[in-house]
Structures are given as C-alpha cells and as structure tokens.
Amino acid sequence: MAASSSFVAPAALGAPRRAWLTDLPVLLVAVVWGTSYLAAKGITTAHTVIAVLVLRFAVVVPVLVAAGWHRLRALSAAQWRGAATLGLILGGIFLLETYGVVRTSATNAGLIISLTMILTPLAEAAVTRRRPPRAFLAAAALSVTGVVLLTQGAGFTAPSPGDLLMLLAAVARTVHVLAMARIKAVRSADSLSLTTVQLGAAVAVFAVIACVPGTGAPPWAVALDFGPGEWAGLLFLSVFCTLFAFFVQMWAVRRTSPSRVSLLLGTEPLWAAAAGIALAGDRPGPLGLAGAILVLAGTSWGRRAVDKDAG
C-alpha cells in the first residue's frame, strides 16, 4: 500500500500544478486590469479623455479584425446589429470610467466599479422577478456601506464627481451584461467577432464625439504631444488590458471552469487598491480603509452566495 501511494503521488501533485499554470495568466489579467485605472489616470486629463479612448482602441481593433476576419464575415445581419448595440453601451461604459478615474483616485475607481458584481444579480433578479438569497442581500448591503465609507476617507463629505461617475459606470456595466444575455442574436456569435464589433462600435462613438467642437483635444494632437511615458501607458492599456486580457480569458475558459476564471478576475479591485496605495500614494484614511475592506468582503461574499444559489 505504501509503495502504491508513493507511485501515484506525482500524478496527484501534477494536477494542481497544471491548474496553477492556467490560473497564473488569469490572475495576471486581474492585476493588469486593477492597475489600468492608475495607468489611465497617468496619461489622461479631462481635456484628453476622448482622444485617449480613440487612440487606445484604434491600436487594438485592426489586430482583432485581422485575427478574426473570416469569422467576422460569417456574422449575420442580426448578429452585427446586436453586437453594435452592445458596442454603444460599451462606449458609454468607457466614457464614464475614463472621465470618472480622472476625477477620483485609482483606489476608489477600482473598488466602486467592483459593485458590478453586486448590481448585476440584483438587476437580474428584478428582471426575472426572482428574489435573491438573503445572504446575497446582506452582502450587497455590506458592499454599499463599504462604498459610502470609502468615499468619505477624509471625513464625511459629498462623494466626488469621479466617485459618482464610477458608480454610473458600474450601473452601465450591469446594463451591458443584461443586454448581452437578452439579445438573442449574439448568444450564438463567435466571441472574438462579438468583441471586435463591440470595440469597433465604441471607437466609432469616440471618433464622432472627437469631431464635435469643445470635446477636447483631437486625437492626432494628443498623439503628437505624447512622450515615451505616455505611449508606454497607452500601449499598456491597449496591448495588455485589452488584447492580452481577452485572449487569456478565451484560452483559460477552455482549460478550466468559467467560475474559476470569474473568481480570479474578481480580485481586480484588490489590485486596484494596492496599486493606488503603493504607486499613486492614495491615502484612504481609517474610514476609507474600512470601506475598502467592506467592499472586498461584500463582493466576495455576494459572488459566493450567487454561485451557491445557482448550484
């Protein structure tokens, strides 16, 4: 019996090791997404939001089109319309997030946007008229309390405009998830093609806005003013936070469970807070720190409650 146990041990140890080889790239996606708020804040001002968004996705979309050209051509007219509709919503999300992160701290941005994990099941319950479990409602209350404390890190004051924009972005993310689930045409669409059309539609929105007088500096002027540091930040957002993140998700879901991928990506707000505190010098104060802990605990508890209810 002892000899048999020693014989099978290496195989038993190999499975967790292979799982971590899949988990590590997904965890890296959560890290780059968490630091993306700080990167966006570093290269964007209120006057250059639209231009930076045009440049960020203009780098990405041609690569996606080239990678999935044949599958794009196979989309039906209904799938194109559905994906374009989702792209318009996605454009609104990026506008709210980018304007929001300019007006608040990277720590607040990452933690407030994590409320999407709470808002989405609540919205879905309202649409389906199915009461969420009590544990989830308690987790939602914990998260909301955490956001209130987080935005009052320097004492009880009105939330900043950036905090409110990030909250609206979380609502818009929720709308995007629900729309993706309810637009029947996109359910059978190829993931790469769906993402390409969505990002293309979002870029079109940004390009149209950029042509309107008074909406900020034009993209070409911002590109010419960028130094090496700004270009590095832009390429980080384009290559790592978009291209790399998308392909890792596609790769990982085929090798592990969607729940496991979701759990790892759910650490994004933790990395956002860590980056804001360590690199940007964010000082949330005792109230803000307590709020951050409550947001992280509430979103984690809520995600587990939803998973348990679904199971």
Grouping H, G, I as helix, E, B as strand and the rest as coil, residue 269 is helix
- Report how far apart, in Å, the C-alpha atoms of 17 and of each of 11, 24, 28, 72, 264 are: 10, 11, 17, 37, 16
**If pLDDT is split at 50, 70 and 90, which confidence band does 49 have?**
very high
Closest residue by Cα to residue 288 from 128, 149, 90: 149
Rounded CA separation 230/235 (Å): 9
**If pLDDT is split at 50, 70 and 90, which confidence band does 157 have?**
low
Closest residue by Cα to residue 286 from 163, 149, 159, 162: 149
Check pLDDT > 50 for residue 126: yes
Helix (H) or strand (E) holding 227: none
Q: What is the sign, positive or negative, of the torsion defined by CA atoms of 54, 57, 61, 62?
A: positive
**If pLDDT is split at 50, 70 and 90, which confidence band does 155 have?**
low
Over residues 67-71, the mean pLDDT reads 91
Q: Which pLDDT belongs to residue 101?
A: 94
Q: Return the HEC string of 81-118.
A: HHHHHHHHHHHHHHHHHHHHHHCCCHHHHHHHHCCHHH
Q: Report angle CA 286, 287, 290 to the nearest 5 degrees.
A: 85
Q: Which pLDDT belongs to residue 300?
A: 82
Q: Which pLDDT belongs to residue 182?
A: 86
Q: Which pLDDT belongs to residue 93?
A: 94
270 versus 238: which is more confidently predicted? 238
Check pLDDT > 70 for residue 76: yes
Phi, psi at 97, each rounded to 5°: -65, -45
Burial class (CB in 10 A: 0-12, 13-18, 19+), 156: exposed
Check pLDDT > 50 for residue 92: yes
Check pLDDT > 80 for residue 9: no
Among the listed ranges 159-168, 255-264, 296-305, which one has the minimum average pLDDT value? 255-264
Neighbours of 134 (CB within 10 A): 9
Q: Which pLDDT belongs to residue 156?
A: 54
Q: Which pLDDT belongs to residue 3?
A: 39
Over residues 232-237, the mean pLDDT reads 96
- State the amino acid at position 132 in one-letter form: P
pTM recorded for the entire structure: 0.83
Check pLDDT > 90 for residue 207: yes
Q: What percent of the chain has pLDDT over 90?
A: 42
Among the listed ranges 25-34, 62-71, 284-293, which one has the minimum average pLDDT value? 284-293
**If pLDDT is split at 50, 70 and 90, which confidence band does 13 have?**
very low
Locate 208 and state its tokens. Answer: 């149209």
Q: Which pLDDT belongs to residue 198?
A: 92
Burial class (CB in 10 A: 0-12, 13-18, 19+), 264: buried
End-to-end distance of the chain based on CA atoms, in angstroms?
Answer: 37
Q: What is the mean pLDDT of the chain?
A: 85
Check pLDDT > 80 for residue 125: yes
Rounded CA separation 44/211 (Å): 18
Q: Which pLDDT belongs to residue 257?
A: 63
51 versus 281: which is more confidently predicted? 51
